[in-house]
Amino acid sequence: MAPPAQSHRSSSPSQPSGKGEVSDLKSQLRQLAGSRAPGVDDSKRDLFKKVISYMTIGIDVSAVFGEMVMCSATSDIVLKKMCYLYVGNYAKVNPDLALLTINFLQRDCKDADPMIRGLALRSLCSLRVANLVEYLVGPLGSGLKDNSSYVRIVAVMGVLKLYHISASTCVDADFPQTLKHLMLNDSDTQVVANCLTALQEIWSAEASTSEEASREREALLSKPVVFYFLNRIREFSEWAQCLVLDLAAKYVPSDNNEIFDIMNLLEDRLQHANGAVVLATIKLFLQLTLSMADVHQQVYERIKAPLLTLVSSGSPEQSYAVLSHLHLLVMRAPYIFSSDYKHFYCQYNEPSYVKKLKLEMLTAVANESNTYEIVTELCEYAANVDIPIARESIRAVGKIALQQYDVNAIVDRLLQFLEMEKDYVTAEALVLVKDLLRKYPQWSQDCIAVVGNISSKNVQEPKAKAALIWMLGEYSQEMHDAPYILESLIENWDEEHSAEVRLHLLTAVMKCFFKRPPETQKALGAALAAGLADFHQDVHDRALFYYRVLQHNVSVAERVVNPPKQAVSVFADTQSSEIKDRIFDEFNSLSVVYQKPSYMFTDKEHRGPFEFSDELGNLSIGAESAVGTVVPAHRVEANDKDLLLSTSEKEEIKGPSNNGSAYSAPSYDGSAVSAASQALSELTILNPSVPGLTPQSSLAIDDLLGLGLPEIPSPAAAPSPPLLKLNSKAILDPGTFQQKWRQLPISLSQEYSVSPQGVAALTTSEALLRHMQGHSIHCIASGGQSPNFKFFFFAQKAEELSTFLVECIINTSSAKAQIKIKADDQSASQEFSALFQSALSKFGVP
Amino acid sequence: MISQFFVLSQRGDNIVFRDYRGEVPKGSAEIFFRKVKFWKEDGEGDAPPVFNVDGVNYFHVKVAGLLFVATTRVNVSPSLVLELLQRIARVIKDYLGILNEDSLRKNFVLVYELLDEVIDFGYVKTTSTEVLKSYIFNEPIVIDAARLPSLGAAGIFMQGSKRRMPGTAVTKSVVANEPGGRKREEIFVDIIEKISVTFSSSGYILTSEIDGTIQMKSYLSGNPEIRLALNDDLSIGRGRSSIYDYGNSSGSGSVILDDCNFHESVHLDNFDIDRTLALVPPDGEFPVMNYRMTQEFRTPFRINALIEEAGPLKAEVILKVRAEFASSITANTILVQMPLPAYTTRVTFELEPGAVGNTTDFKEANKRLEWGLKKIVGGSEHTLRAKLTFSQESHGNIVKESGPVSMTFTIPMYNCSRLQVKYLQIAKKSKTDHPYRWVRYVTQANSYVARL
């Protein structure tokens, strides 16, 4: 409860301001305190209620603490409960007052009525006052041995509360061991479940400092314990079942028979009406079958119906949580759900957060057999009164078009959108047509015919305008009046507020000029003049750059601005597969709803208790430091590198890198260098977020611009090790990594020293992991700040599928690296360690 | 594991507030309420049930106009927390009889008492009304149900069916006694079906689905076992015959469910043989079984909608609704809505002669036509004509700029799936007392849409 924070609310007329009422209450309570008159309990109840209602709305009633305690000497359990509630709320902020309550709480802990014993013990443990812990140990000890299961249930949670107030008191009293004993022997399932909860929290927190706790934590995942729980799962309450299922999901079975045993045992949990039980079961099934592709797929088939049932029963909120999980599965394996597309149709009364998920699912499951119907449905939404959803729907149609082979019909639909004459529909459709043309240049005839009819005056949104201008530039040959439209746009240069549009305009008029010089010359001149006078730095610099390139040599300028383009084959995903795998590993958690791995939205101490991913979790994955949309280089084909770039300023980057060898570096005067370095800084900003823009390609540009920047160490230069050969394209998903890391013993643990150059170079973790990748040692997770860095690496043998896993902690102030190696083939780990050390020693050495 | 639980009124006042772990800073209720309020105003629609502000995760469900909220910093299972919030609301309703702001304010001490037994240190102990009964000592202060306009699911049965049902029964507390002190022995079994249908512009059914629940609320003493027998020809597992071979039962007449799930108290030992569910019903309201069906069914209403230009700046809309169920059945609280072109300025309505209980309205703000009907008797047909006036000439296709027509309704004692409770058997020792058994059916529109 938060009394002080909301106290300003009390100014509202409906709620009393406090002061006067509180002193009134105080005197009334005092009168009743000693009274034994008949009916006094009823009057006390009324007063207590008043106190608690003030407390709820945020009025500070701590002033009546003494009176409340005095009045609590009663056998009326309702009064006692209210008193406990009150005491629990104010004890933390008033520790000296809390001391007053200890006496009567301790007395109540010995009451004949188990209800009172339990309630008193719970209140006692909820005081959250550190200097009172000495009073807790005794009552807790007897509570854990109480005959009544109600008291034991309370006592187990009390131990956990004590641990949070004073961990050492809890451990010194040997409570964790008592709980362990209770967990394995108590007859009451709720006591057992609470023990499991408490022990998971306690041992996870202790594990970082205590070897023993870490062993105990591991022991919770041992076969006897896990099966002890699984075999009794039906006796537990539905909530405790979730707990057991979560535990089992972390267990690594020894063989496939065990996996099938567990799945058969839990099969009927999929028919539970509680969505939390079903999702926990699904998580377990998915985790268990990760290594068996065919069974894994059967699991998908099996869980489809229960998930769909959960989506359509229950409240909209519950169904959203389930739908988010279904969404994740659909995105992972769209083909399994392609015949269920009708379930993903939107209903008019669904909230937009549901509709958005469904649109993405519809997009994902579209294939040859259902595309026609899905696109027809999406076109209905495009006319929807809900404009954001209408826009999303059009984008969805576009995405489907980009992922299909037969786009004939879809192109027609898109062109119909353009004819609908709704501003936002036209705007979205223009952006799509642009993307479509980049992938399917063969459709240019049809598209251009329709786009040509659109008056640029009706297009206002910058993204759409930029798309239209791009098409005007790109297809100025085919579009009859392209130069004149561009010219009129340039005339209104000053009214164009979006810098993006002005940048596009510059590029488009350049392209148009190369194709139809006489008609465009005037417009080009006007555009360059306007651009040079532009207050926006990028626009100004681009205009200047074009101007000087044109001055230097027109044909060179054409090669830079309008090189021949390849059709885009695949538009890159916005989320890396590592991130997706991480989210999948965190199935049945908020990560799925937010579509982010947990390290992105939780701080370390609050990450789920008792998870291996705690270790990996606080580290960021691979190279996607801040940007979050990185695809590792080896996953993306080189020719896709320009596909992400949707604006034309990036085309210039592509230009030189394609034609780099044929291009001789011109000499620049001072101002031109500033333009060039501007381009370069764009480039370096882009670099981390552009997949496939490998060091080589940026190197080429560095050279080409003749700025003499320090060279990035080329991976090719890495000397190959003498004996052990590693696969430079090794792939391992984080889930498998975690599983292996759990399963394999440590085969080698060493400490190396790091060279001073290496220490100097290790300013960010990215630097090292890029370096190690050059030695075919890949990073799966990294984190930390100077002076402590932590990395998880993996490598695979070149010839066979034998993996090495490395945990590497580098402390730059002591210049030491601590290495733990786990390997499929342990005999090779010595050799690998040597290799790792040699790679590490080259770090930072030019 | 949750950190805090609170209930906010529609205006954002704390009605109940409980902090279990002290991990989330104070003021979380205000942060939450502000976020939810401005989400909509920022044009992004409703706030999702789960969101994160500064590392704190906020979960909420809306029940009876109240916001039930939980916070946590831990990466928990969203299903678990949302389910828990829904269950807390249900437990409170079981105790108070009626759940709304008024009853909650009057009974907040009882609610605190419940919360203390439901959650300890952020972990769920139990949400079973049955189990809780032995720990709860406060008596509910029952508020008068008669002056409440809307009662949600319970209200369905109160409208137009008073003769059949004692309407107050569903809204009575599990612990409160009837006036007169004696508790009435009775059990309610409700088959509630929500149907979603989309008609194409040519009247053909594009998609249809029934989402059903068999809901039970028992006021029987002595926890007797109940046997519920469903249709013999019921089969489960449409569309996954490759995994479950239930034989070829898709012949005429049989009821084929796509899938279903059950409450944990249900024993399915005989389900495969004779389609009976055996259970000892716990106290309080709970779903015995949820089911989903996409098998074709007879849709209760046919909708015909037409919009035509009628000269410059004018158009006419004709809406026809035909009830395709038996004349012994009456649908109530019907509302037909249709979005009109954005440049519509004025609408005049023309109802059939002799139409009663009809209301018509043009909602200027969102350009929507609304047609309400109090009752529709099975077999009847109703028509509405509306003349629209536009502020500008329409360039495109007015059909594309209006619609789709959507409809909401409630049909008591009617269900589309033909799933039936054939009998409800109570294993009761005493022969003198015959408990009341109520088996009720109702069909509601979830999304009932006709495209133009």
Strand B186-199 versus strand B436-450 pairing type: parallel
Its ipTM equals 0.90
Amino acid letter, residue B425: Q
Q: How far is B348 from chain A (nearest CA, A)?
A: 22
Tokens of A731: 């792939």
How many CB atoms sit inside 10 A of residue A646's CB? Answer: 15
Could you tell me the domains of chain B?
Answer: 4-132 (3.30.450.60), 186-297+414-450 (2.60.40.1170), 301-412 (2.60.40.1170)
The count of C-alpha atoms lying within 13 angstroms of the C-alpha of B121, restricted to the half-sphere facing its C-beta, is 24
Strand partners for B351: B384
Contact A508, A523 (CB under 8 A): no
Dihedral angle sign, alpha carbons of residues A471, A476, A479, A481: positive
Contacts of A144 (CB under 8 A, 6+ apart): A152, A155, A156, A159, A175, A178, A179, A182
Our CA-based measurement puts residue B435 at a distance from the nearest CA of chain A, in whole angstroms, of: 27
Residue whose C-alpha is closest to residue A414's, from A384, A375, A385: A375
Closest CB to A306 among B124, B213, B259: B259
Rounded to whole angstroms, the Cα distance separating A32 from A710 reads: 85
CA A235/CA A231 separation, integer angstroms:
9
CB atoms within 10 A of CB A714: 12
- pLDDT at residue number A827: 80
Q: What is the DSSP letter of B445?
A: E
The amino acid occupying position A90 is Y
How far apart are the two ends of chain A, measured CA to CA in Å?
A: 60
d(CA A286, CA B226): 36
Nearest C-alpha of chain B: how many angstroms from A655? 40
Whether residue B82 and residue A593 make contact (CB cut-off 8 A), yes or no, is no
**Chain B: residue whose CA lies nearest to A617:** B75
Nearest to A5 among B27, B366, B446 (CB): B27
Distance in Å, alpha carbon of B320 to nearest chain A alpha carbon? 20
Contact A743, A684 (CB under 8 A): no
CA dihedral A775, A776, A777, A781 (to 10 degrees): 120
Among candidate residues A325, A293, A289, A291, the one with its CA nearest the CA of residue A308: A325
| Tokens standing for residue B183 | 């508790």
Q: Residue A681: its pLDDT value, please?
A: 40
In angstroms, rounded to a whole number, what is the distance separating the alpha carbons of residues B13 and B69? 12
Nearest to A608 among B45, B75, B290 (CB): B75
Q: What is the pTM of this model?
A: 0.77
> Chain A partners of B26 at a C-beta cutoff of 8 Å?
2, 4-5
Return the structure tokens found at A90: 């104010």
Does a cis peptide bond (omega within 30 degrees of 0) precede residue B404? yes
Give A37's contacts (C-beta < 8 A, 6+ positions apart): none
| Residue pair B403/B305 in contact by the 8 Å Cβ criterion | yes
Check if the beta carbon of residue A526 is closer than 8 Å to that of residue A487.
Answer: yes
Determine the Cα–Cα distance for residues A410 and A403; give it in Å rounded to an integer: 11
For residue B411, give how far its alpha carbon lies from the nearest alpha carbon of chain A (Å). Answer: 19
Q: Residue A12: what residue type?
A: S
**Residue stretches of chain B with pLDDT short of 50:** 147-156, 158-169, 239-252
Chain B residues in contact with A318 by the CB 8 A cut-off are 61, 79, 82-83, 86
pLDDT at A444 (0 to 100): 81
Shortest Cα distance, chain A CAs vs residue B404, angstroms: 8
What kind and span of H or E run contains A321?
helix A316-332
Nearest CB neighbour to B261, from listed A154, A271, A315: A271
SS3 B264: coil
pLDDT of residue A705: 39
CA angle B285, B290, B292 (to 5 degrees): 155
Query: Given this model, what pLDDT does residue A331 score?
Result: 92
**Chain A environment of B238 (Cβ under 8 Å):** none
Nearest by CB to B196, which of A320, A347, A421? A347
Q: Domain A622-657+724-846 has what CATH class?
A: alpha beta
- Cα B4–Cα B9–Cα B14 angle in degrees, nearest 5: 45
Contacts of A425 in chain B (CB under 8 A): none
Instruction: State both tokens at B36.
Output: 């939810």
Query: Measured between alpha carbons, how far is A475 from A480 in angstroms, rounded to an integer?
Result: 9
Query: Per-residue DSSP letters for A170-200?
Result: HHHTTHHHHHHHHHHH-S-HHHHHHHHHHHH
Asked if residues B451 and B200 have their Cβ atoms less than 8 Å apart, the reply is: yes
Q: From A320, which residue of chain B is nearest by alpha-carbon distance?
A: B49
According to DSSP, the residues that pair with A804 across neighbouring strands are A795, A823
- CB crowding B173-202: b at 16 or more within 10 Å, else e: bbbeeeeeeeeebbbbbbbbbbbbbbbeee
Q: Return d(Cα A613, Cα A809) in angstroms, integer.
A: 17
- The ranges of chain A with pLDDT < 70 are 1-18, 405-406, 572-574, 604-723, 784-786, 846
Q: Is B339 exposed, middle or buried (0-12, 13-18, 19+ CB in 10 A)?
A: buried
pLDDT tens digit string along A362-407?
999 998 888 889 998 998 888 777 788 888 999 898 888 887 766 7
Tell the burial category of A843 from Cβ atoms under 10 Å away from its Cβ (0-12, 13-18, 19+). buried
Contact A593 B50 (CB under 8 A): yes
Which residue in chain A is spatially nearest to B80 when comparing CA positions? A276
Nearest by CB to residue B83, choosing from A194, A276, A594, is A276
| Chain A interface test: which of B83, B128, B271 (most A C-beta within 10 Å) | B83
| Count of CB atoms situated within 10 Å of the CB of A552 | 14
In chain A, which residues have their Cβ closer than 8 Å to the Cβ of B74?
602, 606-609
Contact A315 B449 (CB under 8 A): no
Interface A-B, measured as beta-carbon pairs within 8 A, has a size of 255
What pLDDT does B179 receive? 54
User: Is B120 close to A154, i.e. CB distance below 8 A?
Assistant: yes
Tokens of A802: 């034998």
A275, A322 Cβ separation under 8 angstroms:
yes
Q: Cβ separation of A305 and B237 shorter than 8 Å?
A: yes
A421 → closest Cβ in B74, B112, B396: B396
Q: Least CA distance to B242: which residue of chain A? A: A301
Give A408's contacts (C-beta < 8 A, 6+ positions apart). none
Cβ within 8 Å, pair A316-B49: yes
Distance from C-alpha of A482 to C-alpha of A489, rounded to nearest angstrom: 11
Q: Do A342 and B27 touch (CB under 8 A)?
A: no
All structural domains of chain A with their residue ranges: 458-563+670-705, 622-657+724-846
pLDDT in tens, B163-181: 334 333 456 777 765 555 5
Residue in chain A nearest B57 by alpha carbon = A590
What is the per-residue pLDDT for A659? Answer: 36
Q: Tell me which chain A residues have a C-beta less than 8 angstroms from the C-beta of B9.
A: none
Q: Pick the residue of B15, B51, B52, B77 with the most A CBs within 10 A to test the interface with A by mutation.
A: B77
Instruction: Decide if A303 contacts A285 (C-beta within 8 A).
Output: yes
**d(CA A702, nearest CA chain B) in Å:** 41
Main-chain phi, psi angles of A286, to 5 degrees: -65, -40
What is the least distance, in Å, from the CA of A170 to any CA of chain B? 16
3-state secondary structure of A842: coil
Integer Cα distance of A474 and A456 in angstroms: 16
Min Cα separation A101/chain B (Å) = 19
Name which of A52, A339, A385 to mutate to probe chain B: the one with the most chain B Cβ atoms within 10 A of its Cβ.
A385
